[in-house]
Amino acid sequence: MAGPAALFMGSCSGHGAGSGSTHHPGLGGSVLPGCTMPPLDPKIVPKSVGLMNATTLWPPTPQRSATELARTVRINNIGPILDQDILVPHPTPTTHQVNYTGIPKVCSPGTVTNPAFWCTIGTAGGREPAVGHARKLFATVKTVFINGRRAGTFGDPFGDFSPAFPCTSVVTGSSPNVFIGLIRG
Ligand SMILES: [Zn+2]
């Protein structure tokens, strides 16, 4: 790929759809047994970001570095995002409903609202941390290096579908006039 240089500016694309759903019954499985439990019930079954994208919004979030940047190259006077750079986490504001049967205990069935991060697979005891999942740049350009690392470009992914880096955002904050990669003509 070639394209505008990825910079620490603007926001990522964001990913996912919808403004909440019912997770039990739903992506998490059937209605949970027993009495209603406070949010963050361990019985709630988390699902991958890829699946949760159907019901959960991770909105566009600023492309800021998670660590203090040491760059000797700037583009448009802004630090370029390079392969393997870690950005600040990507949180979701979405909530999902979880339903309980009230059976076999003698209690009323009910519905409890849970944060979507608790319903999502991630790195905090198997669930997404409350602060959101990590974002890491996976450069697609093979031949252009800055400070010894491959340069990021517009549209590069911020995840690799792994539990550690499940983000499905891509780079959108990028240079208006500096292009990287194989450019003909
Ligand atoms: Zn994300």
CA–centroid distance, residue 103 to ligand 1 (Å): 37
For 125-170, the pLDDT digits (tens) are: 999 999 999 999 999 999 999 999 999 999 999 999 999 999 999 9
pLDDT at 171: 98
Structure tokens at 115: 């944060």
The span from the CA of 86 to the CA of 132, in Å, is 13
The span from the CA of 180 to the CA of 39, in Å, is 47
> Both ends of the chain: CA-CA distance in Å?
16
Whether 185 shows a pLDDT value over 80: the answer reads: no
Nearest to 111 by CA among 119, 102, 99: 99
pLDDT at 20: 86
CA–centroid distance, residue 107 to ligand 1 (Å): 38
For 37-96, the pLDDT digits (tens) are: 999 999 999 999 999 999 999 999 999 999 998 889 999 999 999 999 999 999 999 999
Q: Is 51 exposed, middle or buried (0-12, 13-18, 19+ CB in 10 A)?
A: middle
Nearest to 119 by CA among 152, 88, 87, 92: 92
- What residues have their beta carbon closer than 5 A to ion ligand 1? 58, 90, 167, 169
Burial 75-94 (b: 16+ CB within 10 A, else e): beebbbbbbebebbbbbbeb
Task: Indicate the helix (H) or strand (E) that contains 24.
Answer: strand 22-24
Q: What is the mean pLDDT of the chain?
A: 95
Whether 105 shows a pLDDT value over 90: the answer reads: no
CA–centroid distance, residue 184 to ligand 1 (Å): 33
> What residues have CB less than 8 Å from 36, skipping those under 6 apart?
100, 102, 107, 108, 109, 110, 111, 112
Whether 184 shows a pLDDT value over 80: the answer reads: no
Per-residue confidence band for 18, with pLDDT thresholds at 50, 70 and 90: confident
